Amino acid sequence: MTTRFTGSFTQQEAIPDEGIAAAMAVLRGGRLHRYNVAEGELSEAALLEQEFAAFTGAKYALAVASGGYAMGCALRAIGVKPGDRVLTNAFTLAPVPGAIAAVGAVPVFVGVTEGLVIDLDDLEAKAGAASVLMLSHMRGHLCDMDRLMAICDAHGITVIEDCAHTMGAAWKGVPSGRQGAVGCYSTQTYKHMNSGEGGFLVTDDEEIAARAVMLSGSYMLYERHLAAPGPEVFERIKYETPNVSGRMDNLRAAILRPQLRALPEQVARWNDRYRVVEDGLRGTPGLTVVERPEEETYVGSSIQFLLLDWSAEGVQSVLSRCAARGVELKWFGGAEPAGFTSRYDSWRYAPSEPLPASDRVLRGIVDMRLPLTFSLDDCALIAGIIRDEVGAVFQAG
């Protein structure tokens, strides 16, 4: 009898009891708005910002409504204007070029390697095209950050890091989001902390931080932040920085604070699951495992593998056969965006030049979530199913 997986690829773990209790306290108090505090009281959002700054080692942190908002806020805070060109990854998801387009700027796409990271040779070749790089650590893969920052520093490029998939990850011990001028994170349900929607922005630059707070909609209540610059910095920029409201509320902050404390333990659990699947896929004919560099500390909340140079029909056959056995895979090679997949040429609002080498990689990327609701045995079963079905299609082809 053919084995079948019966779990859900979209079922997350429950919010911790401590988070539920904290959320109930906020609800009973009625003070959901981050600036609605009693005399001497510190809001959940302000406390979360202070704790997230400490977690990342940043001087300043801002809690916002989403990871996409964090990226758009960062672009505005560093001074990106309509018509400016912004470098970004060809392998990413819609919120990244969306944030660039939303400020009236124009994405310039940089290729992807078989390691699923930004092509640094292509970046160097295009470095004169823009003064800002929105670097997407797509699906949790970190490039050689030393070389990337050397390229950007040499060409005067300001780096914003999209860390939606790398909260808790690091390059040579430096937390993801801490190499560029700004780091942006997400707490959407499928990310490493879950508040439904939400995000963070971190920076060591006091003026970027002050502008971000004002942009997020502080209504001159910036003194109620615990991880923001002093009032003298706000005095310099407060009348020239627009309100583009995108604050996080106290309810979501209350849910997130216990999750932040538990994040290192959760990272270890994700990586246990990742390694079981990775080991189970090694040696599968026709399948390429994406090797992780030693310098990278990753968070294995999803896993990707490559079916390089396969026909579209062959990949679709693998997806269909795995789905019939309960394993949900995503493919980045489709002509049309579907669910949480897309290509650099999917976004008609963002002009793009062909990237043949990247197209070959994108056509081969297969992606799978690894929620913590999976057991290690589940992961071994899933890997076995993928191995069986990839092998069957490969041998038949």
Residue 387 and residue 286: Cα distance in Å, rounded?
A: 10
Whether the model pTM is above 0.85: yes
Contacts for 87 with CB less than 8 Å, ≥ 6 apart: 107, 108, 110, 123, 126, 127, 129, 130, 132, 133, 134, 157
> Tens-digit pLDDT profile for the chain (397 aa)?
589 999 999 999 999 999 999 999 999 999 999 999 998 899 999 999 999 999 999 999 999 999 999 999 999 999 999 999 999 999 999 999 999 999 999 999 999 999 999 999 999 999 999 999 999 999 999 999 999 999 999 999 999 999 999 999 999 999 999 999 999 999 999 999 999 999 999 999 999 999 999 999 999 999 999 999 999 999 999 999 999 999 999 999 999 999 999 999 999 999 999 999 999 999 999 999 999 999 999 999 999 999 999 999 999 999 999 999 999 999 998 877 777 777 888 888 988 889 999 999 999 999 999 999 999 999 999 999 999 999 999 998 7
Q: Which fold has domain 17-257?
A: Aspartate Aminotransferase; domain 2 (3.40.640)
Contacts for 248 with CB less than 8 Å, ≥ 6 apart: 34, 45, 48, 63, 64, 65, 195, 198, 199
The two tokens of residue 134 are: 């929105």
* Domain spans, the chain: 17-257, 262-396
Domain 262-396 of CATH type 3.40.50.1480:
no
The two tokens of residue 42 are: 């510190």
Are the C-beta atoms of residues 306 and 357 closer than 8 Å to each other? no
Nearest alpha carbon to residue 123 among 162, 132, 290: 132
The two tokens of residue 192 are: 């490493």
SS3 for 140? helix
DSSP 138: G
Residue 391 and residue 253: Cα distance in Å, rounded?
A: 46
Nearest alpha carbon to residue 23 among 185, 190, 249, 189: 249
Residue 306 and residue 67: Cα distance in Å, rounded?
A: 27
